[in-house]
A and B are shown apart, each in its own frame.
Chain A
């Protein structure tokens, strides 16, 4: 049974008064995600906006035990926590690595790939705000084509974004899912499901970032929804190799897709996009959807 707003757990595992920007998409998914993760869990977090949100010594915003680790080491560190718990017979305690897109798709991908290949027993959550936000909005491997960042100024990023879930799928994981900050219940159910499965699980969460994307914080949820409704970011699961669209993406059809400009127009980071670029992105989305 799908979770509803009314039966989401009450327990708040992140304290208010943390340093995340107002309207931060990461704050939404972290708050709801921790409800799914539960207290008997050890978190592993590399440098990112989440590090700052976690709190500055000696105060922690998160109520779970958490290991802050170096940028490239997230999945290896999660491996180490799992190994130690096993060595001590504390296997009931679960391990969740929670990293940004830079920490996942760029500097941390070696350790992540190694852990996936070994099948280490933890859930890895990548929150994708599509740039290095913590250091002031530089391009990452998942920054979409055309986006303005401080290292892709003037004309925007030339390359397309990396498809990280597909890279994870190539490792043959038991469970891979995408989710979005705008659909917290879907996120909650997927994390719950992942937490109950053995081996390495990967979740990729689209995470609107008002500060880095250039929009008014009030629209964080709206914009995340638009990404799904335009077919730019799709919600799906790959369970034991079986791909299926889920939730709002399942209800979409190529003819129901909103034009991508509806999404692009909401954010200043897309303002350098040219007509032909938009047309080619739109064509790419239709091609993707025709193949679903």
Chain B
């Protein structure tokens, strides 16, 4: 069925189709309509989930952590300060290896207060051990929610589905709602072999020592460091799972692309603009214009930010002349985090493209297509010069 609805409704629809069993969320702009939609689905009996209207985001993720530990499929969603407020639990969820799915409706963080879009919120939680996926349009939001559950449950790692506040959350676009029976075919119900259960009493997330220690049967059990190393290993291996799930999804629903980097006119491009989220669609207009001028340019939207698809980056960008990396977040005191990740991936490539870094759209600052065009042109002209300096565009100083 085709509908024209908001990005938040697309997300809520995905959560409903996934037959999520426990939902807990706390309102924050621009995530709020997603939460409201889910409570409406539950109140109207359109979905049978337990919906817990918690008193904070910390509690929202706590409920999900506990419900997931008890063997239920769980979902929460938040933005900005809500995500920061639950940060302790964000780390906990991945450390406990729980397949929770959370939508992060990207928004700038305070202080000062802003309700508008940038990526600083999810970027700040980059090192928590979650998988971070970015969606660029409404169809991707819905589809990514479904894929996120599948990936999370296969690898026992929680997944953030990130999409731009307002630009996607509150805009209306057409998208296809898949049939429930197809979703059921794609996503089996959740089962956990180590849930909280009086029949098999386990004590979960106990204090764990720096060193290994024998269990009651005399077998050696890992220490904290082995457990954390295992999370890292599994995150790296989950790249393959993300790919397999994408293919499986395509097989059933006949749509999708690369789950790592979504390319537009990159094949023969000499220069590529790189970004995350809905900005990649705006950059397509820029690329179209530059192509009209005879420039060989393309756009690459990074869809999987953690685990970072290093090989996909190498495959996509080695041999290019230059990369222009546009970011809505910054590692304060250094540079754009995506820039850091991409240049580090390409460090080992012999003929590596130059890379420029531009910070833009912070706190919802309007991103003008003309600015993007001018910047892209300037970068192409300056080439290797200017490589390390991170510039802000759209500033009014």
**A: which residues have CB within 8 A of B?**
39-42, 44, 51-52, 54-60, 62-70, 72-73, 75-81, 83-88, 93, 110-111, 113-114, 117-118
Contacts and interface: CB of A to CB of B under 8 A. Distances in A.
B269 interface: no
Interface in B58-111: 58-60, 62-72, 74, 88-89, 92
Among B71, B198, B200, B216, the one with the most A-chain Cβ atoms within 10 Å of its Cβ is B198
Interface string B209-221: 1000111100001
A81 B206 contact: no
Interface stretch (B47-55, B255-263, B368-376): B47-55
B390 interface: no
Given A76-B62, A83-B72, A110-B56, 5 more contacts: A66-B201, A69-B66, A85-B70, A87-B48, A93-B198
Nearest to A113: B55
Interface residues of B, number: 47
B59 A73 contact: yes
B92 A70 contact: yes
A58 B70 contact: no
A262 to B, nearest CB: 38
B216 A59 contact: yes
A65 B203 CA distance: 6
B69 A81 contact: yes
A41 B62 CA distance: 19
B63 A68 contact: no
A111 B207 contact: no
Contacts of A113: 55
Contacts of A56: 206-209, 213
Given A39-B198, A93-B198, A59 B215 contact: yes
Interface of B: 21-22, 24, 48-50, 52-56, 58-60, 62-72, 74, 88-89, 92, 196-198, 200-209, 213-216, 221
Given A60-B203, A84-B67, A69 B22 contact: no
Nearest to B49: A87
Contacts of A59: 213, 215-216
Given A42-B70, A88-B71, A73 B58 contact: yes
15 contacts: A51-B206, A52-B207, A58-B213, A58-B214, A65-B201, A73-B58, A73-B59, A76-B24, A76-B58, A80-B24, A80-B52, A84-B22, A84-B50, A110-B58, A114-B55
Given A56-B206, A58-B215, A110-B55, A80 B201 contact: no
Contacts of B71: 84, 88
Contact of B59 (A41, A67, A76, A81): A76
Contacts of B214: 58
B221 A118 contact: no
Contact of B198 (A40, A58, A79, A86): A40
Contacts of A65: 196-198, 200-204
A84 B59 contact: no
A85 B50 CA distance: 10
B62 A57 contact: no
B205 to A, nearest CB: 4
B73 to A, nearest CB: 9
Contacts of B197: 65
A39 B198 CA distance: 6
A178 B69 CA distance: 30
B206 A42 contact: no
A93 B198 CA distance: 8
A57 B204 CA distance: 9
Contacts of B49: 87
A41 B201 CA distance: 10
Contact of A84 (B70, B89, B203, B205): B70
Contacts of B68: 80, 84
Given A73-B59, A111-B56, A114-B59, A83 B203 contact: no
Contacts of B50: 83-84, 86-87
B213 A57 contact: yes
Contact of B54 (A51, A60, A79): A79
A67 B66 contact: yes
B19 to A, nearest CB: 10
A69 B203 contact: no
Given A40-B198, A118-B52, A77 B206 contact: no
A41 B198 CA distance: 6
A69 B65 contact: yes
A41 B55 CA distance: 25
Contacts of A87: 21-22, 48-50, 67, 72
B170 to A, nearest CB: 28
A66 B66 CA distance: 11
Given A70-B89, A79-B59, A54 B205 contact: no
A118 B53 CA distance: 8
Contacts of B65: 69, 73, 77, 80
B52 A67 contact: no
Contacts of A111: 55-56, 58-59, 62
